[in-house]
C-alpha cells in the first residue's frame, strides 16, 4: 500500500458517532487482504463470529428459500455470512442463529460474491426501534 497526495481520503463514523478520516491509499493488492476486510463497506468495527444459522431469503413475491449458512463476522448494522447458494442483492432475509444467545435478525442482502463453491454475503440488518 502506498499513501499518495492525489488519492481521496475516506470519511467514516466511529461507533460513538464521531467522524474520522482515513488516509488516502493507492496500490492496494486485494490478494494481500484477509478473508474478512474490516474496512470494506462498513462504518462500524466487525467482530469475528463462528457458528451456523438457518436463513430464509425472499426476493419479490416468492415464497422464499431456506438455507443453512455459516456466520463469518458482524457489527451493529450487518453480518457477513457464507452461503451455499447465490442470493440476489436486494433480497430480504430472516436469520435464526443456532446459538440461542443471539437474537433473530432481519434485513436485506447487499452483496453476494463467489468464493469457490460458496458465496460470501453481506447482510444489512434492519434496526428495530424501541418504544419509549
Q: Determine the structural domain holding residue 21 and report its residue range.
A: 2-32
pLDDT of residue 46: 80
What's the DSSP call for residue 58?
E
- Structurally, the chain folds into a number of domains equal to 2
Do 17 and 68 belong to one domain?
Answer: no
Do 28 and 66 belong to one domain?
Answer: no
Q: Report the chain (132 residues): mean pLDDT per 10 consecutive residues.
A: 48 54 47 48 75 94 92 92 96 92 91 95 79 52
Taking the model in full, what pTM does it have? 0.62
pLDDT of residue 99: 86
What's the DSSP call for residue 31?
G
Amino acid at each position: 500500500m502506498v499513501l499518495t497526495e492525489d488519492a481521496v481520503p475516506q470519511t467514516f463514523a466511529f461507533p460513538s458517532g464521531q467522524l474520522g478520516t482515513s488516509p488516502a491509499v493507492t496500490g492496494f493488492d486485494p490478494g494481500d487482504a484477509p478473508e474478512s476486510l474490516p474496512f470494506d463497506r462498513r462504518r462500524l468495527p466487525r467482530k469475528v463470529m463462528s457458528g451456523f444459522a438457518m436463513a430464509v431469503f425472499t426476493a419479490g413475491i416468492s415464497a422464499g428459500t431456506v438455507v443453512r449458512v455459516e456466520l463469518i463476522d458482524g457489527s451493529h448494522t450487518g453480518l457477513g455470512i457464507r452461503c451455499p447458494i447465490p442470493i440476489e442483492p436486494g433480497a430480504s432475509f430472516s436469520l435464526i442463529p443456532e446459538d440461542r444467545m443471539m437474537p433473530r435478525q432481519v434485513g436485506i442482502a447487499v452483496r453476494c460474491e463467489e468464493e469457490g463453491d460458496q458465496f460470501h454475503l453481506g447482510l444489512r440488518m434492519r434496526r428495530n426501534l424501541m418504544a419509549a
